[in-house]
Structure 1
């Protein structure tokens, strides 16, 4: 799904949990009519308890609160926490709960992260209600105001009322959304979503931007196992003289095997002139891209899994002011990363090469499951 481009929006970059978590909770506390929250990861713990408290408090003061969780990503949310949400007045639904009689369909997950407040304010990024997001993982979110919020509301509503979620609770009438006026001096942006291998609008949008790039193409992703088509475009762009950089996790990774699987592509990328940085301070879970003055921030990892099986959604922004903020964030993160050089990579030990082969082979098998 590609929302149309809107002018008159306001986008604010919120890097790190210490910035976006207070902004999210402040928005929830200020909600007056509706709260829509869609998450992949929600696990019982300190952050989840705080979120449940805030959602129940909103419901108690008359706000219509709807919480949509992924059936797999929320498996560690306790029964007690689920009951507390329901008893507190929160409408709770789950996307595609796991079922043994349909193993193949279990691979499809709702990986989106979205908060919509009063149908006028939205947040998206890579966040979740897991304690690691407080200070152990590096994450980025974006605050959204303006006409584009209506498209985010429509995206949430479509999934909320879809059969894969609605069958668990009685359907409710969806409220009619009033028009959202453009903001003076606002920015140009659109919502874009992907839904598995048949609907890869996010991927195609990135490919189109790389093909028309004039200066730079910088990409940050925590799970770098790119498709062949993306690797080819990165290599071609670097050989044509563009500034192509990748910001990837270092040794602090929640899934080391995925890191090794992606590292098997380093050699060819480095030879082509792509610059690769591995972030050192913590595990970087953020997903954002900068191509010239176009930015895409959201849930999509640009790997086989996200593109083939997951529901994803990103906010695209085309604005020099916002691009400058994103570029500054990239530069700060490059400075705290280790750059991988071709001569250095050639000397990597045989144990590293073996890990790349083993996990790369496993990843190849996984991509053929569908």
Structure 2
């Protein structure tokens, strides 16, 4: 089996792994210090995948941490997405590559009349692996808008820190992603082979799965795990998701769960970073509310989280939204956790949001039901039902990893660079 870059990942992250430590990290205030500290303590290797890397104070912090690690002999690999991180300066890239950081751009695309056209098949994952023993997975990018001091547009988001056997699976996955079907340098292939059978010792009590979505063999794995959790829930389901316009099956199972007495709650954007997000989600409100689903709009700042829980054990944190891009196009990664303590902590955090920072949407808050709304709703539902098949018709080019090189000095001191 291969992922969208042609890598053999058939045996990676498709089973429950016992004996893990899983810690919830909320927002940049908790996430960035832990990641930078872990990179600062790395002794052998750091691998980072991110959709967005900006040259603000957070991006500069990551830059400094990676350069320092490379400077003391740590092998450092950084993968960014060509759509999400399109404008890194030559100076920023040169600082990384001169320090020894291997920088790669996923599917770099040329602009057309100034517009980025590589919106489809994006590498939307956010993963860090340090020394093969510690990993971070979630929805937080390397940008200052994940910090509260950014202001009203600061994003609410989540990630997890992981230790234990699950990290071995995540480690093998990110090495495969870089290797691009074994075409990497010889030292890298040796490194990948050496890690093939590595297994970290137990570090905690949680069971976990590392689940990815690609455009080859794992096109709907994350969606299937959501569906299974919703179908098996008996007491409660809480989903907090930034970009909510899921497929027909997810909507149907949420309605069925609510009708059989499960307490189904959605936390969606009330102050979206893109207005179309709220418009799209609100088109589904009538269907969900009339089935008994409770809807809360988070109004304190933009919601960027992608987390969920079911009953008292199942939870997930990751990069995947519940919208057409994440469910049918992007490359995504989630961790699914089976652990009562983690579930209880995530539940406590989400309950706090609902009680203190959300507005509950009631049926009377919505516009009156009309024949036009009925017709519009009919078409929306059938679009949702069939869009996974439709997007399969889009070109499935094999995305490329393009290495970024340090600027090359030319005559007279001028330089040229191959920057994103």
Per the normalisation by structure 1, the TM-score is 0.90
Q: Which residue of 2 aligns with 1:61?
A: 72
Task: Report the equivalent of 2:52.
Answer: 41
Within the candidate set 214, 217, 221, 2:241 is matched to 221
- The question of whether the paired residues in 1 share the 8 Å contact of 2:247 and 2:387 is answered with no
Where does residue 131 of structure 1 map in the other structure?
144
Contact 1:193–1:202 (Cα < 8 Å) also in 2: yes
SS at match of 1:51: helix
One of 104, 109, 112 as aligned partner of 2:122: 109
1:22 shift after superposition: 1.1
DSSP-derived class of the 2:345 partner = helix
- Report the Cα offset of residue 281 of structure 1: 1.3
Match of 2:351 in 1: 331
SS of corresponding position for 1:314: strand
What CA distance in whole angstroms lies between the structure 2 residues aligned with 1:207 and 1:282?
Answer: 29
Unaligned runs of 5+ in 1: none
- Indicate which of 310, 318, 324 corresponds to 1:291: 310
SS in 2 for 1:10: strand
Q: Could you tell me how far apart the structure 2 residues matched to 1:174 and 1:66 are?
A: 15
Alignment match, 2:174: 156
Larger Rg: 2
In the TM superposition, what is the alpha-carbon distance from 1:9 to its structure 2 partner? 0.4
Q: What residue is the counterpart of 1:120 in the other structure?
A: 133
TM-fit CA distance, 1:137: 0.9
* Native 8 Å contact 1:2 1:201 kept in 2: no
Secondary structure of residue in 2 paired with 1:276: strand
d(CA) in 2 for partners of 1:36 and 1:301? Answer: 23
**Ranges in structure 2 where 5+ consecutive residues have no aligned partner:** 1-11, 149-153, 395-420
Q: Secondary structure at the match of 1:322?
A: helix
Give the CA deviation at 1:344.
Answer: 1.5
SS of the equivalent of 2:189 reads coil
Aligned equivalents of 1:83, 1:129: Cα separation in 2: 18
Are 1:147 and 2:168 matched, yes or no? Answer: no
Q: 1:170 to 1:79 in 2, by over 3 A?
A: farther
Q: CA–CA distance in 2 between the matches of 1:122 and 1:249?
A: 28
Alignment of 1:182-197 (within 5 A): 182-183=202-203, 185-196=204-215
Task: Give the Cα–Cα distance (whole angstroms) in 2 for the partners of residues 99 and 229 of structure 1.
Answer: 36
Checking the alignment, whether the CA contact within 8 Å between 1:60 and 1:89 is kept in structure 2 is yes
Aligned counterpart in structure 1 of residue 340 of structure 2, from 320, 333, 355: 320
Deviation at 1:77, TM superposition (A): 2.0
Cα offsets for 1:322-353 (capped at 9, x unmatched):
110011011011111000001112359xxxx8
**Residue pair 2:82, 2:118 contacting (<8 A) in 1 also:** no
- Aligned equivalents of 2:186, 2:329: Cα separation in 1: 27
Write the distance in 2 (CA, Å) between the matches of 1:203 and 1:108.
Answer: 17
Give 2:412's aligned residue. Answer: none
Does structure 1 retain, via aligned residues, the 8 Å contact 2:272–2:302? yes
- Of residues 267-276 and 169-178 in structure 1, the stretch that sits farther from structure 2 once superposed is 169-178
- After TM superposition, the score normalised by the length of structure 2 is 0.79
Distance in 2, Cα, partners of 1:198 & 1:63: 33
Q: Deviations over 1:107-139 (max 9, x none)?
A: 111100001111000011101111211221111
Specify which of 265, 268, 278 is matched with residue 248 of structure 1.
Answer: 268
Cα distance, 1:105 vs. partner?
Answer: 7.3
**2: distance between equivalents of 1:287 and 1:275?**
18
Q: Which runs of 4+ in 1 moved over 3 A?
A: 103-106, 363-369
Q: Distance in 2 between matches of 1:33 and 1:327?
A: 36
Q: What residue number does 1:306 align with?
A: 326
Secondary structure in structure 1 of the residue aligned to 2:188: coil
- Report the number of matched residues: 357
CA offset digits 1:171-206 (Å, max 9, x no partner): 8335222321113x5211111111137521111111
- Structure 2 CA distance for aligned equivalents of residues 346 and 273 of structure 1: 18
In structure 2, relative to structure 1, the CA distance for the partners of 1:227 and 1:198 (3 Å cut) is farther
Conserved? CA contact 1:196–1:306, under 8 Å: no
